[in-house]
Amino acid sequence: MKEIKLVLVGFGNVGRALARLLQRKSVLMKSQYNLTWKITGIATGKHGMAINPDGLDVDKAIELVESGQSLDQLSTVKKPADIPAFIRACPGDVLFENSPVNHLTGEPAITHLRTALEMGMHIITANKGPVVHGYKELTSLAASKGKQFRFESTVMDGAPIFSLHRSTLPSAELRGFMGILNSCTNLLLERMENGETLDEAVQYGASIGITETDPSGDIDGWDAAIKVAALVTVLMDIPLKPQEVDREGIRGITPQMLAEAKKSGERWKLVCRATRQGDHVQASVKPEKVSSASPLYSVNGTSSFIVFETDVLPGLGVLESNPGPVTTAFGLLADMLNIYQTR
């Protein structure tokens, strides 16, 4: 039986969902994977950090954060000066990095992941920034250390997008893809179809934990653009930054436009596209009207959908229905189990 020491940077909705999922899957992990685990460190942006080489009390950590208290009281060592120092101070086999995304540079998450690799940890993240801005560096460094860099949860939460291509489509050449990758804007447009203003739809999204305090990353298409960039960078092996994606958000979609589309049997969707053109790719995120014949038409609520075009499979689609933090947490857990199963 192997015990895995886990270090968590970020303990928001996804981080706490991961902790609970680890608890729920403990018996299965023992019986099917011969693995046990303990969390030796948790660092947050607002609720302090805690390190205990013997393993933290997970339930107490969740309770403290959800009641607005600091994790510092759980620590058995002196508080490190910053997150990199925290990572260096934690005995760990795997780092889960789930800090807020930086669309423009990928920092400080890239530094967190680099530090963990240098300390001999596998790295797993739901943060899209490091995949787009640090993929080559982190992949190369991981290989030099005999470790792995996994990031299944960065696009479509727990749906197996990257592992689908990595494991089950050998030699298939990806020519392009199209889909709905931002579940937040999909929900907002649907609410607006039913008569709400954009502000009212955003308020509803906030009430169920879908929209951020600043929802501009979703509304202006940045979240969708960085997901497109991640897919192109990894699956097409063509480095692409979100700034290079032809991007338009949903602020220009008016109630009148939605009503007219509905009357004619169409719907507005924020559509992501990428098409290989030789050694380059043309990528876009834009609102489009889709007819009832389109597979995008019936993608409702916070669901996501993508269809891939390859040289051997002209249309391979994946639909994820109404994901939440547990879905994202599952992608993180699956990455970890796949690392140890592969090894």
Structure tokens at 312: 């051997």
Distance of alpha carbon 322 from alpha carbon 11, whole angstroms: 22
For the question of residue 263 being annotated catalytic, the response is no
Beta-carbon contacts of 281 under 8 Å, excluding residues fewer than 6 positions away, are 232, 236, 238, 240, 274, 275
Q: How far is CA 72 from the centre of its chain?
A: 27
Rounded (10°) angle between helices 183-193 and 255-263: 80
3-state helix vs strand vs coil in the chain, percent to 5: 45, 20, 35
Stated as kind and residue range, the H or E segment containing 309 is strand 304-310
Structure tokens at 310: 């390859």
Which residue pairs from 259-266 have beta carbons closer than 8 angstroms and sit at least 24 positions apart in sequence?
261/289, 262/193, 265/291, 265/292, 266/290, 266/291, 266/292, 266/297
Structure tokens at 70: 């600091």
Catalytic residue among 25, 227, 262, 263: 227
Distance of alpha carbon 31 from alpha carbon 16, whole angstroms: 24
Structure tokens at 129: 């920034």
Q: Active-site positions?
A: 227
